[in-house]
Amino acid sequence: MKVKLWFSGMKFEHIFPLASGEVFGPNQPIALKLLGSERSFQALEGVAMELEDSLFPLLREVSISIDPYEVFQDAEWALLIGAKPRGPGIERAALLDINGQIFAEQGKTLNAVASRNVKVIVVGNPCNTNALICLKNAPNIPAKNFHALTRLDENRAKCQLALKAGVFYDKVSNVTIWGNHSTTQVPDFLNARINGIPVKEVIKDNKYLQEEFTEKVQKRGGVLIKKWGRSSAASTAVSIVDAIRSLVTPTPEGDWFSSGVYTNGNPYGIAEDIVFSMPCRSNGDGDYELVKDVIIDDFLRGRLKKTEAELLAEKRCVAHLTGEGNAFCDLPEDTMLPGEM
């Protein structure tokens, strides 16, 4: 198995859990191929040295390159992490275009040289639309194989529900993050459970659930930046591990996990041809199915429509990168998550 990662000179700590065997199990050898730029190459050399010096027993190969066609050759897993951060004066539409061009090239490369069944997890933001651009530029790879990382948002939602209910985190299940990885994301408390009991029967403060809980999850990253002075690192690495592990191990009976996936054929009435975070289950073979037995009430449906509208607007902004004609940007508002600024 070859795990391929693309970095842009940042957050190299995401690599180490993969090399340690935390994700694919104690018997699966790992080959790490790291893609960088000329600017980040020296840092990548240092990362490679650290990986070698850590003596991970399953790590069979560490190689680095600035040639994506070399790095992604026969890739079975591709983690696309690097993206240009949003700087002062950069409009959101401009960032969609800048990063979209990067992910269009990644898609073309994967389409040319990766395994036909490669699984792709897009972490670089705006991750939903970047994943859409990537899959549109990789027509020979099943669209279902592309994921946008929303697992950190799910983990944050579980944390808040556990704290409010006074239970350990592992007692919280069936949590879904719906929609975009932005402040329009919808943390779903309606279908979530604590100790197997619906959350609304455990936490009976509906105002808290609809307002404070939702806002805390949506803005958690921004609060962290204000407190710490930097965006999440360790928790993002954990969420990447969780996201991959959810695809390579069977989902516990009755539970599910969140991932931003292609909407074609979804059972929820979500617009097709976008990447939208939804509840998924896996039998552990790297594939997944969408969960059908979920409840969607009027409150949840209204929230879903807002995040859907944002993703459709983002899609129009990058039409020139998905082969769908000229781009037209009519983003309703700036809901970019902190960390992209």
Catalytically active residues, by annotation: 181
β-strands 193-194, 172-173 pairing: antiparallel
Sheet bearing 197-198, strands edge to edge: 172-173, 193-194, 197-198
Q: Judging by beta carbons within 10 Å of its beta carbon (0-12, 13-18, 19+), is residue 65 exposed, middle or buried? A: middle
Report the C-alpha gap between 147 and 130 in whole angstroms.
Answer: 10
φ/ψ (deg, to 5) at 176: -120, 135
Alpha helix locations (H) across 166-275?
199-202, 206-207, 214-228, 234-248
Which residue type occupies 126? P
- Check: CB of residue 5 under 8 Å from CB of residue 34: yes
Phi, psi of 207 (to 5 degrees): -65, -40
DSSP code for 311 = H
